Amino acid sequence: MSDVLAGLRVVVPETRELEVLARMLERQGAIALRCPLVAIVDAADPAPIEAWLRRFVAAPPDDLILLTGEGLTRLLGVAARAGIEPGFRAALARVRRICRGPKPAARLRGLGLAADLAPEPPTTAGVIAALAAMDLAGRRVAVQLYPDNPNAALLDFLAGAGAVADPILPYAYASSAEDARVLEALEAMAAGQVDMVVFTSTPQVKRLVALAEASGRQAMLAEALARTRIAAVGPVVAAAVTAAGGRVTVMPEDSFHMKPMVTAILAALA
């Protein structure tokens, strides 16, 4: 174990993979302050998702754009409950798979499949730039969306390129989770009692801002972001931090997921 982070108090605002990240930091000597900001739940109405899956199985599209690993996981869950998971997996193997970032690519690997296209940078803009060089006229493109982002830019691009998009939103955020713990973490950051906060998704940042505004703690949020060193998993999250009034000082250079982020934190504090 390294002693670079020994005794440092690090807020980990993650839910789905909180323990993974927290333990990675604790192995380096940090004191991880677990602060779940965003909970992920199934979509309230599974019927549109099941209908989308049945279309996918009956007539597989030419392309599938996966924006998150969680999205594919939730689609598989609905497919399993509908009794069509084998057909969905078979259809997945027949389409061109386009992944934004490492998480959907990793989820595909767990199914024995690979991403056919993994644009860099791993952002929506990166996906659009990669597809702009291709002839999409007449292609049917399934698009897995994620909450709080209707991704009009991507859908408008596909329409302008002559493609026929079929978007689906397979999960939701339960953003009211753990308000008291979030406010405690915010107060500790503002008081200078936290050495670092690590953001791994934009919904975490948005939730922190929304809760500060709803509770009249905007000044506390500004103080918290000013006094606490901020790490972000990638440029999209960093942009959300900047929009919230913070400044990211630690970010992986080119591989935007948790292990490289911990490596970047160690390098920054060494």
**pLDDT (0 to 100) of residue 73:** 95
The residue among 230, 221, 269, 270 whose CA lies nearest residue 249 is: 230
Residue at 2 is within a domain: no
C-alpha–C-alpha distance, residues 5 and 18, integer Å: 18
> What is the structure's pLDDT at 2?
60
Do residues 92 and 150 share a domain? yes
Q: What is the pLDDT of residue 86?
A: 98
Higher-scoring residue by pLDDT: 268, 3: 268
Q: Is residue 166 part of a domain?
A: yes
Confidence of residue 11 (pLDDT cuts 50, 70, 90): very high
Same domain, 149 and 218: no
Pair type for strands 63-66 and 39-42: unpaired
CA distance 11 to 59: 46
**Looking at the predicted structure, is the pLDDT value of residue 205 above 80?**
yes
Q: What percent of the chain has pLDDT over 90?
A: 69
Claim to verify: residue 71 and residue 185 sit in the same structural domain = no
Which structural domain, as residue segments, surrounds residue 168? Answer: 42-173
**CATH number for the domain harbouring residue 223:** 3.40.50.10090
* Residues 71, 192 within the same domain: no
pTM beyond 0.95, yes or no:
no
Q: Determine the pLDDT at residue 236.
A: 87
Classify residue 4: in a domain, yes or no: no
pLDDT at 179 over 80: yes
The answer to whether residue 225 is domain-embedded is yes
Cα gap 206→212, rounded to integer Å = 10
Query: Which residue, of 173, 205, 235, is where some domain finishes?
Result: 173
Q: Are residues 49 and 164 in the same domain?
A: yes
Residue pLDDT, tens place only, 109-138? 999 999 999 999 888 999 999 999 999 999
Is residue 206 located within the same domain as residue 93?
A: no
The whole-chain average pLDDT of the chain stands at 92
Q: Are residues 79 and 94 in the same domain?
A: yes
| pLDDT at residue 6, rounded to an integer | 86
- Please state the rounded mean pLDDT for residues 134-161: 95
Do 153 and 86 fall into the same domain? yes
Helix then strand count (H, E) for the chain reads 12, 11
- Residues 6 or more apart from 78 whose CB is under 8 A from it? 42, 46, 49, 50, 53, 170
Q: What's the confidence (pLDDT) of residue 15?
A: 63
Residue 58 has pLDDT above 80, yes or no: yes
Q: Residue 33 domain-assigned?
A: yes
In tens, the pLDDT along 159-173 reads 999 999 999 999 998
Task: Report residue 268's pLDDT band, with 50, 70 and 90 as the boundaries.
Answer: confident
78 and 101 fall within a common domain: yes
Is the per-residue pLDDT at 174 higher than 80?
Answer: no
- Based on the domain organization, do 200 and 132 belong to the same domain? no
User: What pLDDT does residue 122 have?
Assistant: 87
pLDDT given at position 17: 65
pLDDT tens for residues 26-40?
Answer: 988 999 998 888 878
Q: How many domains does the chain have?
A: 2
